[in-house]
């Protein structure tokens, strides 16, 4: 199918100009003014921004966690992503303790097969790494799984010890993979959690008080120092607070290869959400927790200064009615995670660009270009250029909507941003040359999305 997108304001991480784009056989073929080409479909993009499809490098679809499985799978989650202008995700496969990485990868291929609306890659979550398994890391890189995630939190579940983390970093220094870390001092938090429960503090709000910013900063610092010794780059997922950001800043000032993402919920919501009536606060039990409001200004400023390079969603959706309730009498049993895969672009635009905290180019950069670069997808993904995949969003900057569980596309019975007015709507979403969203309607076929064998960092 060929598509001609006419007269849009093309915005990349570095450029902005009005032109036409001819897309054919899944690729951007020609960019120019007044293109006279014939196409199977013509889209008038006058008055719209035309931006590269989003790359969300942190999603958990069909994810077994906290005694249940996340509610959005590759069918529903990727369609919701597409409605929000995201055309590539990198999701997390999980090694079972004592099992091979290849087996985990097979399982995650099976979960996604025939379901995805957008292209997808996998990171591999590593739980244990005896020396005999180290060559499996190189095999993952050959299979296009070029990043590994390790948890410094959740002892007794998915936490990896420091030796495992250091071994993964050392091997990645050689094979070019990127080690991603969930940085929190898991053992210290465990003591705080047990003490809170012993005091009868069982409500959702104690999830936040038992995971203080310093617990995140300490783990961030420790991981940075381990990465320095290993000579490996390191990437922090879901950075939530000023104290952890300071550690990243300090390392980058020493010219260390340290990168970090934050998420829309840390940029726009705060810990007052835990003070809601009854069990409502459970909707915001995600990790790290929402912080005091003043952290938001620091995170926006970190994005602007490039101390933070990426905004991901950490989409981990657990229903309020029958999943979050697993922890009704004990906050530590509430499955951790929040839904957000659909709202990254409109929140970045409304709260970031419209508020003057970042400009449009920076928005495209953190939404699409830099995640593509860091996770081995650039220039195929993350930009609009001749020869790149035709993953394109026609984004209407004036149209307003109200976010609500009544109208979202996530398989989820609540929305963390319920009632929030946002500006900017992805009117048309094109993935590899196919129009899959037009005027609020999904036009694709499940399984259009393909597995992406990723390279190492650009
Ligand atoms: O609360 C969260 N973030 N749940 C998903 C797992 C993780 O830690 O990323
Ligand atoms: Zn995490
Ligand atoms: Zn996560």
Joined together, the tokens standing for residue 59 give 């999603």
Full-model pTM: 0.98
Q: Which of 316, 318, 326, 338 to mutate to test the pocket of ligand 1 (most atoms within 8 A of CB)?
A: 316
Superfamily for 3-51+385-442? Urease, subunit C, domain 1 (2.30.40.10)
For residue 318, which ligand has an atom nearest its CA? 1
pLDDT of 457: 79
Q: CB–CB of 327/335 below 8 Å?
A: yes
| Residues in the chain where the model's pLDDT stays below 50 | none
pLDDT of 36: 86
pLDDT of 9: 98
Going by their DSSP bridges, the two strands 16-24 and 86-94 should be labelled as: unpaired
Cα of 304 from ligand 3 centre, angstroms? 23
Q: Where do the domains of the chain lie?
A: 3-51+385-442, 53-374
Burial of 243 (0-12, 13-18, 19+ CB in 10 A): buried
3 state SS for 58-93: EECCCCEECCEECCCCHHHHHHHHHHCCEEEEEEEE
Asked if 3-51+385-442 and 53-374 have one fold, the answer is no
Q: Which of 327, 337, 338, 416 to mutate to test the pocket of ligand 1 (most atoms within 8 A of CB)?
A: 337
The ligand 1 atom nearest the CA atom of 153: 8
CB half-sphere exposure, 117, CA atoms < 13 A = 26
Cα of 286 from ligand 1 centre, angstroms? 6
Joined together, the tokens standing for residue 433 give 């040359």
Beta strands per DSSP E along 221-333:
234-236, 258-262, 310-311
pLDDT of 458: 66
For residue 265, which ligand has an atom nearest its CA? 1
Q: Which of 154, 235, 274, 287 to mutate to test the pocket of ligand 1 (most atoms within 8 A of CB)?
A: 287
Sign of the CA dihedral running 292, 261, 444, 337: negative
The ligand 1 atom nearest the CA atom of 60: 5
Q: How far is CA 225 from the centre of its chain?
A: 25
> What are the Cα distances from residue 348, in Å, to 294, 311, 368, 427?
18, 9, 12, 16
Whole-number Å distance between alpha carbons of 237 and 59:
11
The ligand 1 atom nearest the CA atom of 151: 8
Q: pLDDT for 299-343, tens place per residue?
A: 999 999 999 999 999 999 999 999 999 999 999 999 999 999 999
The ligand 1 atom nearest the CA atom of 182: 8
Whole-number Å distance between alpha carbons of 378 and 53:
12
Q: Which of 235, 238, 274 to mutate to test the pocket of ligand 1 (most atoms within 8 A of CB)?
A: 238
Atom 7 of ligand 1 has which residue's CA nearest to it? 287
Q: pLDDT for 441-451, tens place per residue?
A: 999 999 999 99
Cα of 227 from ligand 3 centre, angstroms? 21
Whole-number Å distance between alpha carbons of 143 and 137:
10
Q: The domain 53-374: what is its CATH number?
A: 3.20.20.140
Sign of the CA dihedral running 453, 455, 456, 458: negative
Give every CB contact of residue 89 below 8 A, 6+ residues apart in sequence.
55, 56, 57, 59, 61, 77, 78, 81, 118, 119, 120, 121, 341
Ligand 1 neighbours (beta carbon < 6 A): 60, 182, 238, 286-287, 314, 316, 336-337
SS3 376: coil
Atom 3 of ligand 1 has which residue's CA nearest to it? 287
């Amino acid at each position: 199918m060929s598509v001609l997108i006419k007269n849009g304001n093309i915005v990349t991480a570095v450029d902005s100009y009005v032109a036409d784009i001819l897309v054919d056989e899944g690729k951007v073929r020609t960019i120019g003014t007044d293109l006279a080409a014939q196409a199977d479909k013509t889209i008038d993009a006058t008055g719209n921004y035309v931006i590269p499809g989003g790359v969300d490098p942190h999603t958990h679809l069909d994810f077994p966690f906290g005694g249940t499985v996340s509610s959005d799978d590759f069918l529903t989650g990727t369609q919701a992503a597409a409605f929000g202008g995201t055309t590539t995700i990198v999701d997390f496969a999980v090694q079972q303790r004592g099992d091979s990485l290849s087996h985990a990868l097979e399982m995650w291929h099976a979960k996604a097969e025939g379901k995805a609306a957008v292209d997808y890659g996998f990171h591999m979550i590593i739980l244990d790494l005896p020396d005999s398994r180290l060559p499996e890391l190189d095999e993952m890189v050959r299979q296009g799984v070029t990043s590994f995630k390790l948890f410094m939190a959740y002892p007794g579940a998915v936490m990896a010890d420091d030796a495992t983390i250091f071994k993964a970093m050392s091997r990645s220094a050689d094979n070019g993979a990127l080690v991603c870390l969930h940085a929190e001092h898991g053992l210290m938090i465990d003591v705080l959690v047990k003490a809170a429960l012993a005091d009868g503090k069982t409500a959702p709000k104690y999830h936040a008080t038992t995971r203080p910013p310093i617990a995140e900063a300490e783990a961030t610092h420790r991981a940075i120092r381990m990465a320095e010794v290993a000579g490996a780059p390191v990437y922090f997922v879901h950075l939530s607070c000023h104290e952890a950001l300071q550690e990243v800043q300090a390392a980058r000032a020493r010219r260390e290869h340290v990168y970090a993402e934050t998420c829309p919920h840390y940029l726009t919501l705060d810990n007052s959400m835990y003070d809601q009536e009854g069990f409502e606060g459970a909707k915001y039990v995600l990790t790290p927790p929402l912080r005091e409001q003043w952290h938001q200004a620091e995170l926006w400023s970190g994005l602007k200064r490039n101390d933070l390079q990426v905004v991901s969603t950490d989409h981990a959706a657990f229903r309020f009615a029958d999943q979050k309730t697993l922890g009704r009498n004990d906050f530590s049993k509430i499955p951790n995670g929040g839904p957000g895969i659909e709202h990254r672009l409109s929140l970045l635009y409304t709260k970031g660009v419209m508020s003057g905290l970042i400009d449009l180019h920076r928005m495209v950069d953190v939404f699409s270009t830099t995640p593509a670069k860091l996770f081995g997808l650039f220039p195929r993904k993350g930009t609009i250029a001749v020869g790149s995949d035709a993953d394109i969003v026609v984004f209407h900057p004036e149209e307003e909507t109200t976010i609500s569980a009544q109208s979202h596309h996530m398989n989820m019975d609540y929305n963390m941003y319920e009632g929030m007015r946002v500006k900017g709507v992805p009117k048309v979403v094109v993935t590899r040359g196919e129009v899959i969203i037009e005027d609020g309607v999904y036009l694709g076929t499940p399984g259009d999305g393909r597995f992406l064998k990723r390279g190492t960092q650009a």
